[in-house]
Each structure stands twice: as C-alpha cells, then as structure tokens.
Structure 1
Amino acid sequence: MTRPNDLNPWDSPRAFYGAELRGKRKAAGLSQDELGALVFCSGAYIGQMENATRRPPLEMARLLDAALHTDGILTQMCVAMEQASQHAEYFRLAAELEAMASAIYQYAPMIVPGLVQTPGYTRALIRASRPFASEEFIDKAVATRRERAQLLDRADPPEVWFIIHEIVLNTPVGEAAIMHEQLGHLVQLIEQHHVVVQVIPMSEGAHPLMDGPFKVMTFTDAPPVVYTESAYSGQLLDTPAVVAKYAKDYDLGRAVALSPDASLAMIRAAMEDFAP
C-alpha cells in the first residue's frame, strides 16, 4: 500500500486532495479513526482518501469540511475534480476506480461492455438512445470511452473478465458492418488474452444474474467495490457483506455460462452472421 509520506501531491488532482486532507486532519489533531467517527465512515476509508486510493463523493467532502472547519476548501476541490472529468457525474468515481483496479469482473446483459466497444458501436448505441444529441456530444462520448479502453494496453493491465448474455451478440447496434467489426474486435481481444469472455446462452433460461448489470472491481491495496448502473444513475457499493454477495452471484454466473472456448465459438459465429 502507498504510504502517505510517499505520495507526491503533484502527481494528480486526487493526490493533491489526499495531501490536503492529511494536512488538515493533522492540523486539527485528529487520527484517521477520530476523523472517520466524525463523518460516519471508517478510519481506513479516511486513509484511502489520503493516499489517493479513493476520492470522496461530494457529500463526504462537505462532511469533512464541517468536521475540520476548513471553510469549504475540500468541497471546492472535489467539485473542481468532478468538473474536470469527461464522464457522467454518477460514473466519475467508478471510472477512476476502474483505472486503478487490479481485476474487473463485469456482467453485461444487453450491450457490449464499454471497455471493449469499437467507436462505431459506441456511436450507433448513443445515437439510438439519444436521437437528438449533437454530433459534438457523441464525438466527446466516443473519445471518452476510447480513453477508458487504454487501460487494456498498459504494461500492467487489470485482469478483465466479462459475462455477457447471448442477446448482446444477436442485437444489431447500427449497421451489420458495425456489428461485424465490434464482434471481431472482441474476438481479437480474447485471442490476445486481454480479456476473458463467457456467454450465457438463451437456452439457459433463468440464471443467477438476472437482477441486472454490475461490475466487481478489486484492488491490490484497497477493499473491493461493486458498481451498479441504470439508464441515468449509478451506485458504488463497498459494504463487505454486499460486495461478497455480488461476488458470489458472479461465480454462480460463471458456472452456468458457456466455457470461454465455447463462448468464443459463439461470438465468432455471430460475427459471421453480421458479415457484410
């Protein structure tokens, strides 16, 4: 785990925030546990914010300002970080955690996961869901999603495992050529061992993951979290018992899905079905 004294506050806005929080806490004569008690969280969570593993949501920043009598400075810094992000407000913290994760386990019941979408697929998907969006808005969204995907090309990429439903493979998003390219891209990532994909076939019927999409993220030096999302909102869950339930559900999903090899064969077949 990164020690607070090793943290360079100029590495990132989040590191600067952590350094400021640590300095304000020490100036107030409080331990991490004591400050955590004042803002209704654990001392460990305070430590994670100080070493830049986690950035607090806006409401937590307000609580910290009130507890430390810091005249809103931590809240202002939090707002500035959020405004600098290219992601939707509800996804910003999840996107930061995704970039730091050592492993990502995601269930996608309806669409290809964002990390492995092609620009054409992303563009067609956004245009279908937001028919009145400007081209500028869509261009920005496509670029942001491509930036997220760069974590797969790192020297130390996270372990990425997807469970998708067969519906994802058979639902046309855009023209046939777009789907052919998208499924081909997914095949390439699998063959290059960047991701593992398992498919839950239609024939499986009811299965353990029918409550909706979610993503489990684990970290080398921090507790795991779960991210769930609906159309215009998302939620990060870090209660250990809740995270454990999602992890168990994911394991059950892997058990009923096709094997990685059989899944790859199904993806290839679907790709050929969309061949121009």
Structure 2
Amino acid sequence: MPPAQPSPIFRRRRLGAELRRLREAAGLTGDQVIERVGWASASKLSRLENGRSRPDLRDVLDLLDVYQVTGAQRDELTAITGEAGDMRGWLRSYPVMTQHQRAYAELEAGCADIREYSPVIVPGLLQTPGYARVRIVSSRPLMTDPQAPERATTEDPETEVAARLARQSLLTREVEPPRYTAVLEEATLAGRAGPPDVLRGQLAQLRKLAVLPNVTIQVLPRETTIANWYLPHTAFSIYRFADPQDPETLAIEGLSTNLVLTDRDELRRYTILFEWLQTAALSPEETLSWLADAGRIRPPGGPAQPVSPTRPAPPVAAPVAGGRGPVMPPSQRTPRTGRLTEP
C-alpha cells in the first residue's frame, strides 16, 4: 500500500531548502559553514542544500548547531532527516516498483490533492492492466537508441504494469487517500487508444473509480470550446501535499521525461487552466452517463460513439468565455454554453 507520507526524495528537497534558508538567515557563506563544521569537501553542503544526497543525521545536527536551531524546529528537521534517508523502507511499502514508475510514485506519495489533465492518454492512476500494457508496449520502440543499445529499457513490460497498479492503490487506501480530480479528453477513450475489449474494460474501470468519494472524473468532449478558444498544449498534473510546508508541485508531461516545477507563477497559470478545463468538461454526473453510453454503443469494427446525457438544456448565456460543445451528431445537438470560472 503506497505510504501516506512524502517520498524520501521530496523530504531531501524540503530539508535542503530549510538548511539553505537557515544558513542565509545566519548570514553565513557556504565556505564559512564548511570551515566551522570541519568538512573536507565543500560540495557536501551544496549536495545537502540541493537535496541531491542522502542526509546523515550527524551532519545535519552539526549544521543545526552552527545555525543555533533548538526546540520544536530542531525536532522537526531531525524527523525530516530520518524520513529523507529511508529510501529502502519507503520502497518496501510497494509490492513492486520500477525506476520509471518510482518517479511518479515519488510525486504522488504524501499528496492531499492531485489534479490531472490528459489530452490523449488515460492517466496512470486510472488505467486498467490491459490499457497500461498497450501504452507501455507501444512506446517501447521509442525508448531504444540504436546508437546506444545499452541504454534501452530492459524492464519487463509485465513488471512495469504491476508497478503501475501498485501506485493505483493510493486512491483506495484506508488511511488518508488523496482527493483526485481528472479531466480527460474524449480522445483518451477513442478507437485509436486500444483494441475494443481494452477500451471497454477501461470505460468500466473509470465508472468504478468515478463513484469513489475522493475521486472526480470529468470527460471533455472533442468539440467543446475551452474558455476563449484556448487550446491546452500538453498533459499536466498538480500535486498538493498534506504537509503545507512541502511546496505544491507541477509536472508537465513529455514523451520520455516530465518537467517538474515548484515555481509559483507557473503553478498559478496551470491552476487557472485546470479551472477552465473543469468548467468546459461534462459534470461528474454527466460523465458517468457518458461513460456508460460509450461502453454500450460500439458499431461493428468501429470505436465507441458516446452520446451526451439527456437533460434539459440550460438558458443560453452570452459567449464571453466560450461554451461546451456538443457530443451528439449535428442533427441532434442541443446548444450549450458555459462560463469561465474567475481565477
């Protein structure tokens, strides 16, 4: 079962930021600190402050002595040091883990709130084994460099699938499961996403997860207008941690790597964008109907053809912020509009 506390990697970053702040508050340079504690290597402090090395408790206590840190603050940093160094204990919380899946697990652990937008792929925390297997196997050729075959991915696909499933128990754990919200483009469940049986299983999985009290799933129909005709550039995730001192984190998805940021301006922009996406998407209740219809309506040899849920059309609002486009064929569409949430 995934742990409820942040990963040791995040704890190292938190500890490093605190140590740097304390040094600067004391008016000391790195060289002055190194001289006072008697360390032989000047890079040792840099690695600690940047969260790049496993902290030794004795080293951290020496630094706290130099910075004259006592009482509750000293106790807190001592506890963080222990958590930052226990990578093996943290990994034992997972029945199976791989290097690739660990990068995501480190972001997800200790979260109070996770928000994800995905334009083409169902997020890993929601995938069925079949859907995950298709995603992993189909991308494997892109991870192989003909000029450097020794760097090719060697992890067995089934092990990657199992590691991804190990991450997913985060959503159903009994102790403090995070609030999870996902906005999925309709394309994530279109015919190109996988064989019909895989897609039917994925639709059923989304319906099952969407009724959990801590999970919200919203589908964004393909013809929906977002805000003032805005087009999102890529998938992204926003992570807020249970400990308010751990910085909110943004991950922007790439082909083989994610860009992980804690910059406040970037977080503000993506938070507003997520509000736009939620406003444009079907409501959670409409999404459940959409998923049920998509699982039932499948012409021979073709992808699912979801229909919008039946409900009275709302009054037409002024198109200041765009509207939610229809999902049904043009001859059956009921005009709908939506308003942009104030940031």
What TM-score comes out, normalization by structure 2 length? 0.56
1:61: Cα distance to partner? 1.9
Which residue of structure 1 lines up, in the alignment, with residue 94 of structure 2?
Answer: none
Aligned-pair Cα RMSD in Å? 3.9
Q: Which runs of 5+ in 2 are unaligned?
A: 31-46, 60-80, 92-96, 145-151, 301-343
Which residue of structure 1 lines up, in the alignment, with residue 140 of structure 2?
Answer: 130
Structure 1 residues 35 and 98 mapped into 2: Cα distance closer, same or farther (>3 Å)?
farther
Asked whether 1:141 is paired with 2:151, we answer no
Structure 1 residues 31 and 144 mapped into 2: Cα distance closer, same or farther (>3 Å)?
closer
Asked whether 1:273 is paired with 2:273, we answer no
Which residue of structure 2 lines up, in the alignment, with residue 200 of structure 1?
Answer: 220
SS at match of 2:252: strand
Structure 1 CA distance, aligned partners of 2:7 and 2:215?
30
AA matched with 2:22:
D
Which residue of structure 1 lines up, in the alignment, with residue 247 of structure 2?
Answer: 223
Asked whether 1:87 is paired with 2:99, we answer yes
1:166 pairs with 186, 194, 197, which one?
Answer: 186
1:204: Cα distance to partner? 1.2
SS at match of 2:131: helix
| CA contact 1:87–1:144 (8 Å) conserved in 2 | no
| CA contact 1:164–1:198 (8 Å) conserved in 2 | yes
Structure 2 CA distance, aligned partners of 1:190 and 1:34?
47
SS at match of 1:196: strand
1:274: Cα distance to partner? 5.0
More displaced stretch, 171-180 vs 231-240: 171-180
Structure 1 residues 38 and 237 mapped into 2: Cα distance closer, same or farther (>3 Å)?
farther
C-alpha deviations, 1:75-101, integer Å up to 9, x for none?
A: xx99x87xx76232xx74542121211
- Written as runs of structure 1 = structure 2, the 5 A alignment for 1:102-141 is 102-130=112-140, 137-141=156-160
Q: Which runs of 5+ in 1 are unaligned?
A: 1-10, 40-55, 69-73
| CA contact 1:180–1:271 (8 Å) conserved in 2 | yes
Structure 2 CA distance, aligned partners of 1:13 and 1:254?
29
Percent identity for Structure 1 against Structure 2: 28
Which residue of structure 2 lines up, in the alignment, with residue 255 of structure 1?
Answer: 279
Structure 1 CA distance, aligned partners of 2:284 and 2:115?
14
- Written as runs of structure 1 = structure 2, the 5 A alignment for 1:65-76 is none
Structure 1 residues 124 and 135 mapped into 2: Cα distance closer, same or farther (>3 Å)?
farther
Tell me which structure has the larger Cα radius of gyration. Answer: 2
| CA contact 2:251–2:260 (8 Å) conserved in 1 | yes
Structure 2 CA distance, aligned partners of 1:165 and 1:31?
42
1:134: Cα distance to partner? 8.8
SS at match of 1:197: strand
Which residue of structure 1 lines up, in the alignment, with residue 266 of structure 2?
Answer: 242
Asked whether 1:212 is paired with 2:206, we answer no
AA matched with 1:224:
E
C-alpha deviations, 1:28-48, integer Å up to 9, x for none?
A: xx7742169868xxxxxxxxx
| CA contact 1:180–1:274 (8 Å) conserved in 2 | no
Paired residues, number: 228
1:176: Cα distance to partner? 1.2
| CA contact 2:225–2:280 (8 Å) conserved in 1 | no
Structure 1 residues 274 and 148 mapped into 2: Cα distance closer, same or farther (>3 Å)?
farther
Asked whether 1:61 is paired with 2:52, we answer yes
AA matched with 1:204:
T
SS at match of 1:266: helix
C-alpha deviations, 1:92-119, integer Å up to 9, x for none?
A: 4542121211010000100111001111
Q: Which structure has greater helix proportion?
A: 1
Structure 1 CA distance, aligned partners of 2:7 and 2:110?
15
Structure 1 residues 61 and 129 mapped into 2: Cα distance closer, same or farther (>3 Å)?
closer
C-alpha deviations, 1:3-28, integer Å up to 9, x for none?
A: xxxxxxxx99829x85xx79xx9xxx
| CA contact 1:103–1:158 (8 Å) conserved in 2 | yes
AA matched with 2:241:
F
1:209: Cα distance to partner? 5.3
2:106 pairs with 77, 83, 96, which one?
Answer: 96
AA matched with 2:166:
E
Structure 2 CA distance, aligned partners of 1:227 and 1:118?
22
Which residue of structure 2 lines up, in the alignment, with residue 34 of structure 1?
Answer: 23
